[in-house]
Structure 1
Amino acid sequence: MSFAPFKRVMAKHVLALALAATALAGCTSYAPAPKSFQQATMQPYRLDSGDRLRVSVFEQPGLTNTYTVDQAGYIAFPLIGQVAARGQTLPALEGSIASRLKQGYLRDPDVTAEIDRYRPVFVMGEVGRPGQYSYVPGMTAQNAIAIAGGFTSRGNQRDVDVTRKINGQVITGRTVISSTVLAGDTIYVRERLF
């Protein structure tokens, strides 16, 4: 009696089980949020497309106005033209505007900038009303989900997938619903398995 055919059949079954386990692992695997997610919530706010700013130039009412950061990441400012805003903090933008105004326009410009309206957050997946919603500083994923109509009956209420731009790179990670979100984040509520 030869065991060679038996060994081949067993090898095929083991291979099939290994492939099935790999496929299932791919379905259930996820990337937890990297450390940079939490660190980004503690950093100074960085401007990006969709933010609306209130820029004031002391004793210059013609320059004081609201400006929106365009898709290219700039604001169009009188006299000096396009000013790069994407990735800048408010103090850095103030300095940039002031230094350009000093180049032949104003002697000692006093520029202040503040956020008039933050870029929105996006809530998708198993929520009552998926869409774009206004961001409020300190907002959590759970707050954003509540604004979007709450979880559907199939929504996973333990954790969510958040997509965020960090240092110019778009990263997605899984995080608990009590995590702080940032302006521009996309929150995706997955369907629960059971």
Structure 2
Amino acid sequence: MVARLILIAGLALALVACSGYRQPPTAFHEVLTQPYRLDSSDGLRIIVFGQEDLSNTYTVDQAGYIAMPLIGDVPARGMTVKELANDIEKRLRSGYLRDPDVSVEVENYRPIFVMGEVSNSGQYPYVAGMTVQNAVATAGGFSARGEQGTVDITRQINGEIISGRVPITDPIRPGDTIYVRERFF
């Protein structure tokens, strides 16, 4: 009887150890309700009202900057669109324009990456409101061996890389890497 209980306890521990479940930290889901922060590869539509030469589409480069006429390189990484608009207005007001009015909107979000047990791993465009399930569908769906209940997501939050396991109904963010694990049965 004791040997049987030890065997059952050992099997239960082995199953728990094999699952590798890592509950994501609270910041992982809190970021979903916070204003969007810009990062590399985001495409921005910047309008300086009354200044057609300054209004254009700009891409945040690998260093986190956009290059605008007159004011040069402007840091954008980590800023919200409102913060960036205010910063551009401030820079233009310093000797270039009397009362600039700037609007910034995200035209193209940075891509997402879908890897693992999907039909077509790769880089895909992010669409606002996307869930894990939408991202997997964009990658051609689950492979025959793909775990269809949960996935691992790697996300950058405030410069820190965080990973967690989430259900496929969870929303994703631009820049997320989604990894579909292989199922056991």
* TM-score where L is the length of structure 2: 0.91
Q: Give the Cα separation in 2 of the matches to 1:33 and 1:156.
A: 18
Residue 39 (structure 1) aligns with: 30
Q: Give the Cα separation in 1 of the matches to 2:16 and 2:169.
A: 27
Q: Is the alpha carbon distance of 1:37 and 1:152 closer, same or farther for their aligned partners in structure 2, counting shifts above 3 Å?
A: same
Q: 2:43 aligns with which of 48, 52, 68?
A: 52
Residue 96, structure 1, aligned to residue 92, structure 2: no
Task: Letter of the 1:170 partner, please give it.
Answer: I
SS of match in other structure, 1:173? strand
Residue 6 (structure 2) aligns with: none
Residue 160, structure 1, aligned to residue 143, structure 2: no
Backbone CA RMSD of aligned residues: 1.9
Equivalent pairs counted in the alignment come to 178
Q: Give the Cα separation in 2 of the matches to 1:149 and 1:21.
A: 35
SS of match in other structure, 1:47? coil
Q: 1:65 aligns with which of 56, 64, 79?
A: 56
Q: Give the Cα separation in 1 of the matches to 2:25 and 2:183.
A: 23
Deviations 1:59-105 (A, max 9, x none): 00000000000000000111111111001000000000000011100
Task: Letter of the 1:94 partner, please give it.
Answer: A
Deviations 1:22-64 (A, max 9, x none): 8876543231122112111111111000000000001000000
Deviations 1:122-155 (A, max 9, x none): 0000000000111011100000000100000100
Task: Letter of the 2:58 partner, please give it.
Answer: Y
Task: Letter of the 1:96 partner, please give it.
Answer: D
Q: Give the Cα separation in 1 of the matches to 2:97 and 2:14.
A: 65
Q: Give the Cα separation in 2 of the matches to 1:98 and 1:23.
A: 59
SS of match in other structure, 2:103? strand
Q: Give the Cα separation in 1 of the matches to 2:131 and 2:12.
A: 35
SS of match in other structure, 1:142? helix
Q: Give the Cα separation in 2 of the matches to 1:185 and 1:153.
A: 23
Residue 180, structure 1, aligned to residue 171, structure 2: yes
Q: How does 1:119-134 map to 2 (within 5 A)?
A: 119-134=110-125
Task: Give structure 2 stretches of 5+ with no counterpart.
Answer: 1-9
* TM-score where L is the length of structure 1: 0.87
Q: Give the Cα separation in 2 of the matches to 1:123 and 1:82.
A: 32
Q: Give the Cα separation in 2 of the matches to 1:156 and 1:132.
A: 20
Residue 109, structure 1, aligned to residue 100, structure 2: yes
SS of match in other structure, 2:161? strand
Deviations 1:112-131 (A, max 9, x none): 01111110110000000000
Residue 4 (structure 1) aligns with: none
